[in-house]
A and B are shown apart, each in its own frame.
Chain A
Amino acid sequence: DTAVSQTPKYLVTQMGNDKSIKCEQNLGHDTMYWYKQDSKKFLKIMFSYNNKELIINETVPNRFSPKSPDKAHLNLHINSLELGDSAVYFCASSQGTGAQGPLHFGNGTRLTVT
């Protein structure tokens, strides 16, 4: 069983469109994350969310918004896509705040904006 699954795996779209990436975890974790990996393979936190608080990296444009219908899901919505949004986006989860257990990652979504 896949622990953290995100869809789609590949997403090609045009500038200006609005798109969503879905993430689900079946580990019973209470914290989920969205990370962006740039072309140099550097991972950067975008959002972290547990049932108590949403923490937003202030450098993330407000065109990006996380939506969590329940503890097992954290979807990423992106409005008015720009060329610079092209990257691989990873969803992850952990129990607690990342000091109580390992991070579990999804397989990534490669977003290409043309």
Chain B
Amino acid sequence: KNEVEQSPQNLTAQEGEFITINCSYSVGISALHWLQQHPGGGIVSLFMLSSGKKKHGRLIATINIQEKHSSLHITASHPRDSAVYICAVRPFRTGNQFYFGTGTSLTVIP
């Protein structure tokens, strides 16, 4: 079983819809990252969270450390948001390790 589970695996939305992607993890962590991978392949860091909530433009990320759960929200979705969104956690234990979710493939239709 993967230490990081994301849902849904695939998501199709109409332009303008509010989108939520969920990430649950099973280990104690010092940080959680949300990453975006566009069809061209490059990976971009969206957020790094250790508590609470962060907002950047139309993107909002929240984390609940007690429940070991994080959500990524996209408001007023746009076709250019179409990408794979990956959740990654940095566990407490020693070593520069990250555990990655399997990604959520988002397609926003005009």
The interface of chain A, by Cβ under 8 A from chain B, is: 31, 33, 40-45, 48-50, 55, 88, 90, 92, 97-99, 101-105, 107-108, 110
Which of B31, B41, B103 sits near A107, CB closer than 8 Å?
B41
Q: Which of chain B's residues have a CB closer than 8 A to the CB of A108?
A: 41-43
Does the CB pair A44–B41 fall under 8 Å?
no
Q: Which of chain B's residues have a CB closer than 8 A to the CB of A88?
A: 41
The stretch from B15-23, B62-70, B73-81, B91-99 touching chain A is: B91-99
Given contacts A41-B84, A41-B102, contact A97 B41 (CB under 8 A): no
**In the complex, residue of chain A having the shortest beta-carbon distance to the beta carbon of B44:** A105
Q: Which of chain A's residues have a CB closer than 8 A to the CB of B50?
A: 99
Q: List, sorted by A's number, 15 A–B pairs whose CB atoms are closer than 8 Å.
A: A33-B96, A41-B84, A42-B102, A43-B86, A43-B88, A48-B97, A55-B95, A55-B97, A88-B41, A98-B31, A99-B48, A102-B45, A102-B48, A103-B88, A107-B41
Q: Which of chain B's residues have a CB closer than 8 A to the CB of A40?
A: 102
A49 to B95, CA, bound (A): 10
Does the CB pair B96–A103 fall under 8 Å?
no
Which of A43, A55, A99 sits near B100, CB closer than 8 Å?
A43
Q: Which of chain A's residues have a CB closer than 8 A to the CB of B100?
A: 42-44
Q: Which of chain A's residues have a CB closer than 8 A to the CB of B41?
A: 88, 107-108, 110
A105 to B45, CA, bound (A): 8
**In the complex, residue of chain B having the shortest beta-carbon distance to the beta carbon of A107:** B42
Most chain A beta-carbon neighbours within 10 Å: one of B45, B95, B96? B96
Does the CB pair A55–B102 fall under 8 Å?
no
Which of B47, B88, B96 sits near A31, CB closer than 8 Å?
B96
